[in-house]
Structure 1
Amino acid sequence: MYINLSIWIPAKPGSVATFAGTTLILSVFYSCITLLSFLRRQESSIIGSKNCAGEVLLQKKDSGTIYVVGTPIGNLGDITLRALDTLKSVDVVVAEDTRRTLKLLNYYEIKKPLVSYHKHNEKKRSVELIEMLKSGKDIAVVSDAGMPGISDPGRELIKKAWEEGIGIEVVPGVSAVTAALSITGFESTPFVFCGFPPARAKERKRFFKELAGEKLTTVLFESPARFRKTLKDILEHLGNRRIVVARELTKIHEEIFRGTVEEAIARWQGDVKGEITIIVEGKSDAEKAKGSEESAFSDMRRDLEELIDSGLSTRDAAKEISRRYCISRSAAYKEALKIIGEKQ
């Protein structure tokens, strides 16, 4: 630390005045150090941290910390050493299904209180857990498999923790998304993760209709009960793309299939069991080019119809469309006649 003091004491080297000046400088220096220490103690109750938007969030130092812990997706040996250390050190383990988490804790001889946290109680339980954290207790949040908050409970609690200035640390682990994606051989940078398709018919139809326009490799989760229906929906809306079906990843009965959607439908005729991840390959360059052409034609036809509806003559509408889309006037005129014919 350097302090520039505006003090001048004229004296000869080695004189009493020189000694007094040196003592004064040292005294001021140590006074500044003492003041800084005091200010730090005054501010010791908060810790500054930044969220992804760069906003400074004040974390209360005397509160506990949430540890978002990744757990195995099947094979218990896939847990990390850091995850085990964290589960041993926290005061409480918050679990999606306490029965499943208890098996994991028992396997590694970890004895900790378990609190259930799932989609049916997450709002109420989040309030209780935040109060627990404010009292200074550390908690670990786990899901049945993989990372909490990714198609699993946890988001509500983590959101409230950010709002309340509670400390959050991630202890990463296995993810079915990246594990399945890594073995596909598909282009995966970037990719799209959509979680579970909706169960209700109306929402489900909208979901797959929107997904039909997706050009990137897409990852889905699905339950055994709706697995075959989802394959048929993919075939209907996305076509007979190549897919990978990863069932029961890392478990004894792990099964990985790679082929077309039609081949997958033919393969699984009966009941299916286990946890399923479906990866749909992104559109090929030819499909992307075809899609772009179809989109451009659709835009052109819509504009042409709007010009005709506005009262513009067929010839003038075709001329304007020819200018906008760089197509021949005759092609635009023929399309205009088709539109008029459809309206009659």
Structure 2
Amino acid sequence: MNEQRSFDQTAVSGALYLVPTPIGNLQDMTYRAVDTLKSVTMIAAEDTRRTKNLCRAFEIDARLISYHEHNKQEKEAWLVERIRAGDTIALVSDAGTPAISDPGADLVERLTAENLPVISLPGANAALTALVSSGLPTDAFTFIGFVDRHKKNRAEILASWRGHAATLIFYESPYRVSEFLNAAYEAFGNRRAVIARELTKQFETVVRGTLAELCTYAKDETLKGECVLLIEGASEQEQLESRNPEWWEHLSVLDHVEAYVQNGEAAKEAIKKTARDRGMPKRDVYHVYHIEEND
């Protein structure tokens, strides 16, 4: 157990400061963030070129070193030793809050394990900025970030969150948004969802709708900029089904399809889900549904 008193200067000499930087609009830089970057021994930056521009804008004259996904292992031990020796180091990412979908999380874990101070400043964050304007529930939410881009792995990851009641938050490249939304529709059905892109920038856009609507939108629209995707959490029925994956076991194929239809699915989608649940060819379920329904 370790108790950190961040503002007791007799207890803090060397420390790591997690300093959020703007995700687009420079006016979102806080006074405290600027003061901290001006006062530390050095700044560890994911991209020193981008951070140089930020420092120039706020007249920050500090030593810059690189710390990113490809050099974190060789830099981590050195940074820990500098902090142990009494240096103060600010960690910044390309944009937003460091240690969120960011290699800084590993450094924070190492420092806290060694009882060295880590002091986090509040500031810009794309996930929370998108969430509070989404119109989706904010009382419970889960940040998932980027998911595997490979089709099978992505489908398995999304399926694992199907019964989760909280609003789900993802990051995605604009080049894969359409693929992601189609996979999300397969996994979650036609839930409410939101695309938030270019947050705080000139072309900030928030698109709210159902997953089906967003699939159509993303297919026809050329998206630019990193995107935050938010998906409504599971309904009570979906949570129940998730806790009991074989909820349909006592149903006939026809009743199985009808259960999905009554839950708001189109017949085509209900047939597809029934086939997936039962491990049956979709054409066989289609045949049973349309033949028996007309009897």
Same fold (TM over 0.5): yes
SS in 2 for 1:131: helix
CA 1:289/1:262 → structure 2, altered by over 3 Å: closer, same or farther?
A: closer
Give the structure 2 partner of residue 154 of structure 1.
104
Per the TM alignment, residue 114 of structure 1 is displaced from its structure 2 partner at its CA by 1.0
Question: 1:244 Cα deviation (Å)?
Answer: 1.1
Q: 2:88 aligns with which of 128, 138, 155?
A: 138
Instruction: Kindly provide the CA deviation profile for residues 270-323 of structure 1, in whole angstroms up to 9, marking residues without a partner as x.
Output: 53210100111123xxx4236526855826949xxxxxxxxxxxxxxxxxxxxx
Indicate how the Cα distance of structure 1 residues 185 and 134 shifts in structure 2: closer, same or farther if over 3 A, else same: same
Q: How much does 1:247 deviate? A: 0.3
Higher normalized contact order (CA 8 Å, seq sep 6+, divided by chain length)? 2
Letter in 1 for 2:114: E
Deviation at 1:200, TM superposition (A): 2.8
Letter in 2 for 1:50: E
Shift of 1:62: 7.8
> Which residue is 2:237 aligned to?
289
SS at match of 1:192: strand
Deviation, structure 1 residue 267: 1.8
| 8 Å Cα contact 2:163-2:238 kept in structure 1 | no
Q: Which residue of 1 aligns with 2:206?
A: 256
2:12 paired with 1:50? no
Distance 1:295 1:261 in 2: 23
* CA distance 1:300–1:226, change in 2 (3 Å): closer
- Which of 17, 23, 29 is the equivalent residue of 1:73? 23
2:149 corresponds, among 199, 215, 225, to 199
Aligned-partner residue type, residue 130 of structure 1: V
Within 5 A, what are the aligned runs for 1:163-202? 163-202=113-152
* SS of corresponding position for 2:240: helix
CA distance 1:212–1:113, change in 2 (3 Å): same
Equivalent residue number for residue 316 of structure 1:
none
Deviations 1:239-283 (A, max 9, x none): 111111110000011111111112222222253210100111123
Q: Are 1:280 and 2:231 an aligned pair?
A: yes
Q: Would you say how many aligned residue pairs link Structure 1 and Structure 2?
A: 245
Asked whether the equivalents of residues 71 and 173 of structure 1 are also in contact (C-alpha less than 8 Å), the reply is yes
Aligned residue among 146, 155, 162 for 1:212: 162
Q: Using a 3 Å threshold, how does the CA distance of structure 1 residues 82 and 236 change in structure 2: closer, same or farther? A: same
Q: Highest CA radius of gyration, 1 or 2? A: 1
Q: Please give the alpha-carbon distance, in whole angstroms, between the structure 2 residues aligned to 1:289 and 1:240.
A: 14
Distance 1:300 1:259, change over 3 A: closer
Distance 1:178 1:169 in 2: 20
Distance 1:294 1:212 in 2: 7
Q: Which of 34, 50, 66 lines up with 1:84 in the alignment?
A: 34
Q: SS where residue 246 of structure 2 aligns? A: helix
Report the Cα distance in structure 2 between the residues aligned to 1:91 and 1:171, rounded to whole angstroms: 17
Q: Residue 246 of structure 2 corresponds to which residue in structure 1?
A: 298
Deviations along 1:55-103, one digit per CA (max 9) or x if unpaired, are xxxx995851111111111101101111111000001001111111111
Maintained 8 Å contact 1:194/1:219: yes
- Cα distance change, pair 254–129 in 1 and its aligned pair in 2 (3 A): same
Q: Which residue of 2 aligns with 1:266?
A: 216
CA distance change for structure 1 residues 137 and 295 in 2, over 3 Å: closer, same or farther? Answer: closer
SS at match of 1:85: helix
What SS does the aligned partner of 1:140 have? Answer: strand
1:135 Cα deviation from its structure 2 partner: 2.2
Residue 115 of structure 1: how far off its partner (Å): 1.0
Correspondence for 2:190 among 225, 234, 240: 240
One-letter code of the match for 1:200? Answer: H
Equivalent-residue separation in structure 2 for 1:166 and 1:297 (angstroms): 45
**Distance in 1, Cα, partners of 2:244 & 2:11:** 57
Query: Deviation of residue 181 (structure 1)?
Result: 0.6
Equivalent-residue separation in structure 1 for 2:10 and 2:77 (angstroms): 17
One-letter amino acid of the structure 1 residue matched with residue 162 of structure 2:
A
Structure 2: segments with no counterpart, 5+ residues: 251-295
Q: Tell me the secondary structure at the aligned position of residue 120 of structure 1.
A: coil
Distance between the aligned counterparts of 2:227 and 2:132, measured in 1? Answer: 15
Report SS of the residue matched to 1:209.
helix
- Give identity over the alignment, percent: 40
Mark the CA change 1:60 to 1:201 in structure 2 (over 3 Å): closer, same or farther: farther
Per-residue deviation, 1:50: 2.0
Q: Are the equivalent residues in 2 in contact too, given 1:123–1:156 (CA < 8 A)?
A: no
Which structure features the higher share of helix residues? 1
